[in-house]
Chains A and B, each alone.
Chain A
């Protein structure tokens, strides 16, 4: 089984995010991590390799700094990695990201593509499905279980309340959800290896694309401005003994807010 894992370096979940220059850009505290859901994807790829052999290759589209995410994947146990270095495309919309990655995938041999179900920065959750469509492949989204046995691949997808058990023909794309596995912590030997390994880089031109496609004229959607979330008014404490406060809370919700 040859497995490609598509990962993204994102700001750490705790990083401060502030709106800058009158809504035109974001000031993000420079702390980075592998996207949470991508860690499940890497772990699952390693598990499949352990059971069935083959190789695991991690691929990212990002800035030069994103190579750190690839080193983490290697430290966890990935065999190879590849960086598609382009800040413009990396900051672009889902369509362009999927376009670049699908072009890169056309040059690879693989049975399985694993991705996280959503990147926790842009929160789009679009790219894996788009890649599948670009390549004419099936996908199974929000996967919490993946079984490969006797030439059959069966994935369990957790859409909201229901669980769907889906049989899929390979090659296919899967998006990993929390619950799929417990991502391993890299061993020190892995970290040493990852520091030394040479990671090849590609440019979008290598993939037959041009940089201006990611510019304002080339992308399908663009962000006009960033807006702050609606601020909630300061909390109003409901005082008194528990029984009294509880009754008062019920009164407010029923008579003032009229939500129940």
Chain B
């Protein structure tokens, strides 16, 4: 059986959603008995996260070296590449998160193989396997094939469906990678976690984004209230970030984040190509703009031509009414 390693990432007390998506997808394509899947966690692993992971995988390998307690690209790459080599893994998969995209290219070099980054689709059962990934900000997609082994992938969050947790728990194995401190040349001095408790844009299922049509920073409360009513994360255009109405972390688009939610609501956004590039893989798009010719309507499933100062509060109110009713 071909061994597949899924690197799982921990955030707070639990695994990241994309890690579970990948374990579910791997379990699905492993059903034909050709693959065996292992989850690999490096560093901090709270009990709750471990228990949750064990209900999504048959085997969880945890690297516990003190040198790997905090993330470092050098340390993580060595540990993951070392384990892949030792077990003869045929595939190493991670989420295309900040960390995944940061250290998986190093894993590829250590294993003298290629990598496909930010994959959004896969033909796992093709011979050879092929992977689809966006280029030019999603203007085109490339179907990529590997000529070397193992296959290394980072996969965009929300690309594969979540499955159900299993009743019977998997096997848990602790290991050390034998990383010596002098192989790591970076030291994390401080981490400033984002001050909010909502899901990060890149992993969010629901997003409400606002543009310059909001007219002032304080009017973003209309966006926040609608987002609050459905549990969505707030996004913004570059113009709004440059005007300091919102933080850089909220920017969607070519020079910001790429998002792939189930629902993207955009209000007061013109639909400049640079913005579209960051959100065009969203499943359902609702655009609100008072200009019937706004370009964003070309990239939307639903459109409301109207004043966002009327439409947004009315939507929030309707949602509240439905909740109560």
Report A's interface with B, CB cutoff 8 A.
11, 13-14, 17, 19, 26, 36-37, 93-95, 98, 120-127, 129-130, 132-134, 137-142, 144, 154, 158-169, 172, 178-179, 217, 219-229, 232-233, 235-238, 242-243, 245-247, 249-250, 252-254, 257, 259-260
Q: Known contacts being A36-B255, A246-B314, A247-B314, is A132 close to B142, with CB within 8 Å?
A: no
Within 8 A of A (CB), among B176-211: 184-194, 196, 200-202, 205-206
Q: Known contacts being A139-B73, A172-B185, A238-B304, is A253 close to B263, with CB within 8 Å?
A: yes
Quick one: CB contact mask for B136-163 with A, threshold 8 Å, 1 for yes? 1111111111111000000000000000
The 9 closest A-B pairs by CB, nearest first: A161-B194, A220-B114, A159-B98, A246-B314, A221-B114, A138-B185, A242-B310, A133-B109, A126-B105
Q: Among A124, A140, A233, find the residue whose CB has the most chain B CB atoms closer than 10 A.
A: A124
| Residue in B closest to A159 when the chains form the complex, CB atoms | B98
B69 within 8 A of A: no
**Inter-subunit contact A158/B114 (CB<8 Å):** no
**Inter-subunit contact B140/A126 (CB<8 Å):** no
Sample of 26 A–B contacts (CB below 8 Å): A17-B140, A26-B140, A95-B114, A122-B135, A130-B109, A138-B74, A139-B73, A154-B189, A159-B102, A160-B97, A160-B98, A160-B200, A163-B192, A217-B147, A225-B142, A229-B138, A232-B299, A235-B300, A242-B307, A246-B315, A247-B314, A249-B286, A250-B315, A250-B319, A257-B263, A259-B263
**Inter-subunit contact A224/B255 (CB<8 Å):** no
Which chain A residues border B196 with CB–CB below 8 Å? 161
Which chain A residues border B187 with CB–CB below 8 Å? 166-168
**Inter-subunit contact B310/A243 (CB<8 Å):** yes
Which chain A residues border B82 with CB–CB below 8 Å? none
**Inter-subunit contact A224/B191 (CB<8 Å):** no
B270 within 8 A of A: no
- What's the least CB distance linking B221 to chain A, in Å? 17
| 10 extra interface residue pairs, beta carbon distance < 8 Å, beyond A36-B254, A120-B254, A126-B108 | A13-B273, A123-B133, A123-B136, A159-B97, A161-B196, A162-B192, A166-B189, A172-B185, A245-B304, A250-B318
Contact among B105, B206, B262, B301 with A235 in the assembled complex (CB-CB below 8 Å): B301
Complex Cα distance A5/B192, Å? 28
- Interface size of B in residues (CB-CB distance below 8 Å): 93
Within 8 A of A (CB), among B242-267: 248-249, 254-257, 262-263
B106 within 8 A of A: yes
Q: Among A14, A132, A169, A250, find the residue whose CB has the most chain B CB atoms closer than 10 A.
A: A250
Interface 9-residue window, one of B24-32, B84-92, B212-220, B277-285: B277-285
Classify the interface of chain A: helix, strand, loop or mixed. Answer: mixed
| Residue in B closest to A178 when the chains form the complex, CB atoms | B255
B115 within 8 A of A: yes
Complex Cα distance A144/B146, Å? 34
B298 within 8 A of A: yes
**Inter-subunit contact B194/A245 (CB<8 Å):** no
| Residue in B closest to A141 when the chains form the complex, CB atoms | B102
**Inter-subunit contact B109/A162 (CB<8 Å):** no
- What's the least CB distance linking A176 to chain B, in Å? 11
Report B's interface with A, CB cutoff 8 A.
73-74, 77, 97-99, 101-103, 105-106, 108-110, 113-118, 130, 132-148, 184-194, 196, 200-202, 205-206, 230, 248-249, 254-257, 262-263, 273-274, 280-281, 283-287, 297-307, 310-312, 314-315, 317-319, 322
Complex Cα distance A208/B311, Å? 64
Complex Cα distance A166/B184, Å? 12
**Inter-subunit contact A120/B136 (CB<8 Å):** yes
Which chain B residues border A226 with CB–CB below 8 Å? 135, 140-143
Q: Known contacts being A132-B106, A138-B186, A238-B304, is A260 close to B139, with CB within 8 Å?
A: no
**Inter-subunit contact B300/A232 (CB<8 Å):** yes
Complex Cα distance A225/B101, Å? 23
Complex Cα distance A125/B101, Å? 7
| Residue in A closest to B117 when the chains form the complex, CB atoms | A124
Complex Cα distance A27/B212, Å? 34
Q: Known contacts being A160-B202, A229-B140, is A165 close to B188, with CB within 8 Å?
A: yes
**Inter-subunit contact A224/B144 (CB<8 Å):** yes
Complex Cα distance A167/B135, Å? 33
